[in-house]
Structure formats: structure tokens, C-alpha cells
Amino acid sequence: MPRFKTFLQALTLLAAAVYVTLFIYQRNVTVASQITNTEQVEVGWQERAPRSLSKDYVEPGAAEAGSTATPKPPLARSRDVFISVKTTGHYHRARLPVILKTWFQLAKDQIWFFTDTDDPEFQQKTNGHMINTNCSSSHNRKALCCKMSVEFDVFLNSDKKWFCHFDDDNYVNVPRLVRLLGDFSHQEDWYLGKPSIRAPLEILNRESKAIAKQNISFWFATGGAGFCLSRSLALKMLPLAGDGKFMSIGEKIRLPDDVTMGYIIEHLLRKPLTVVDQFHSHLEPMKFLRQDTFHDQITFSYSRYSKEEVNVVKIDGFDHRIDPTRFLSLHCFLFPYYTFCPR
């Protein structure tokens, strides 16, 4: 009997041990399962995290990187730009109609024509944007500096942030021009343009009081390709070139308007020219501009080499008899929604 009682006690203890073991095992399995499920949720959240991170989980510097990747708003809009076009009465009917039909339509309120005569017809066609400078109609340096002086003074009296000068044989891609200016601040000193010579211009320093005068050198942006000045720079030029003084400097150095502009900015004010390759003048062979780059160019031009050979952009479109400058065809390539463009 005692042996049987001992056997039952041992069996009971064994059963209890097995039960406890099974209970502990089951509890561990449950806890392990809960841990595993929790880890899976966390991993899933981490996979989604790069798309939308809470600020609590942003690593140092991540916010700055994000802000850097976000494009900055442009610093210039079309209404911030004063666009002057130098012309002469002799070319009103030959050169202005194609401008008025094409790129003038892109910024009617910002574009002003500076001429040397009253012309009621084109005054009406430009909505009153013809300014008679009362300068000579000749093409000598004095007449050119006279017109540039008036252009500069009219800009200074405006509220515009940028002054951009062009000639009446230019086509201006206005949206591209505005995008360019949007990369610069009008509150800083900027002289944007393109030289037409391979080296700085050297001239005799006529301001020197020394008996043996030495040469000075400076870059200048070719007026025939167009150039732009920030208001900050223009205000620094005001004491030197404002109120008609521009003409006096041109007379002193005996050079044309665009060279005089470079002389004032680069030599007198020590502000460098920033070269913009997308400006083009009639001094360049237009045929070498590739059509797949047209949207990125800012200005185009044209000229005649001889009676048989013309310097124009190479582009299909209107018949050459209708569109000898190729500006109509170019405009329709850039802005095909205009009603006169072929469908």
C-alpha cells in the first residue's frame, strides 16, 4: 500500500510537471507570435516611411535636402522687365511689322520702340509705345549713344526691375528671356549679354592725365544680340550715365552705344559682363543654330551677305518670299497656337 501511494504521488508530480511545461511552452509561443507580428508591422511601416516621414523620424539634414530639391520661385516675371527696341524711321515699314505680328504679342505692355521721328501709324499699332528720342536718324556713334541714353533714362523713370535692350532686327523669345532673368536678382549688379569679339576691347585711356596715356581693356555686350541690366546696376550707373550723361561718355571715348555701355560698367564701375550664349546677333551665322535648340535660345537675328545670300535661321515654314527674315516661321515653331500659323 505505501508503495502504491508513493507511485501515485510520483505520477501526480510528473503530470504536474508536464502540465507546467506545456503551459510555459504555450505562453512562450503566444508571446513569440505577438512579437513576430509586431515586428512585421514595424517593417511594413519602415518600407512606407521614405514616402512620408513624420518629423520625429527625420534624420538631421533631411529637411534641408528636401527644401533644396524644391525649385525656387522665379525672381522675375514679364511685368518686371522693360524691353527697349532701337529703330529708325527709315526701317519702320521694313522691320517693325514682323515684330508686331510675332514677339511683340508676347509682351505688349513691356516693349517700347525708340525711334527718331513721329509716326502716327505705328504709334497706333504699338498702342502708344513709340518714343521719339529726337535723336539723329543717322547710324553714327553720336546718334546711337543719343538713343541709348534716352532708353536708359526712360527705364530709370519706370518701376521695372530689369532693362533689356534689343535692335529692330532681333527676334526675342520673351518667355525664355524672363526665365533667364528669373535666375538672377535685380537687387544685385548684373550685366548680361554676349560679346562679339574674342578678346577684351583695348582703347586709349583718355581720362588719364599722364602725358604718356596707356591702354585700358574691357568686355562689352554686343547691342545687336541684346543685353540686360539689373536695376541695382542701373542705379549705380545713374551718377555717371543718367540724365543724358551717357552721351557725354560716348563722345569722350568716341565709340558706339554698346561699347560705351561696356566701358561704363566694366571699366568705370568694375562690374563684369556675364556671358549668355543664348543671345545672338546678325554678326553670327544663323544657319548654324540647330532647330532642336530654338526653344532654349533668347534672341535671333538676320542680315544679308549679298544680293543672293541671306543670313537667317534654317527652318521650314512659310515661303521665303512671304517670310524672308524667317521670323514668322520661327514664331510658329515656338508658339504654334497663333492663328496665322499653318495647321
30 is a domain residue: no
The CATH number of residue 94's host domain is 3.90.550.50
Residue 335 lies in a domain: no
Enumerate residues 6+ apart whose C-beta is below 8 A from 320.
Answer: 326
Report if residue 2 sits inside a domain: no
Q: Which residues are catalytic?
A: 258
Q: Which domain holds residue 88?
A: 78-275
* Residue 9: predicted pLDDT: 56
d(CA 290, CA 293): 6
Q: Give dist(CA 107, CA 25) in Å, integer.
A: 82
The pTM for the full model equals 0.77
Q: Tell me 268's DSSP state.
A: I
What does the alpha-carbon distance between residue 78 and residue 162 come to, in Å, rounded to a whole number? Answer: 10
In a domain, 106, yes or no: yes
DSSP state at residue 179: H
- Looking at the domain assignment, is residue 299 inside a domain? no
Residue 2 C-alpha from the chain's centroid = 107
Residue 284 domain flag: no
- Per-residue pLDDT for the chain (343 aa), expressed as one digit of tens each? 555 445 445 555 555 554 545 444 444 434 334 333 333 333 222 232 332 223 332 333 323 323 334 456 666 789 999 999 999 999 999 999 999 999 999 999 999 999 999 999 999 999 999 999 999 999 999 999 999 999 999 999 999 999 999 999 999 999 999 999 999 999 999 999 999 999 999 998 877 666 557 899 999 999 999 999 999 999 999 999 999 999 999 999 999 999 999 999 999 999 999 999 999 999 999 999 999 999 999 999 999 988 889 999 999 999 999 999 999 999 999 999 999 999 8
DSSP of 141-160, one letter per residue? HHHHHHHHHHHHHHHHTS--
Give pLDDT, residue 37: 39
For residue 285, being part of any structural domain is answered with no
Position 8 scores a pLDDT of: 47
DSSP state string for 200-238: -EEEE-TT--SSS--EEEE----TTT-EEEEHHHHHHHH
Which pLDDT score is estimated for 256?
97
Domain count, the chain: 1
Calpha distance 207→205 (Å, rounded): 5
Q: What pLDDT is recorded for position 53?
A: 28
Q: Quick one: cell of 39?
A: 515586428
DSSP output for 46-90: HHHGGGS--GGGPPTTHHHHHHHHSPPPPS--GGGEEEEEE--GG
How much is the pLDDT for 209?
A: 62
In a domain, 115, yes or no: yes
The SS3 call for residue 298 is coil
pLDDT of residue 252: 94
Rounded Cα distance, 197 and 207, in Å: 24
- Round to whole Å and give the CA distance between 29 and 124: 91
What are the backbone dihedrals phi and psi of residue 172, each rounded to the nearest 5 degrees, phi first?
Answer: -115, 120
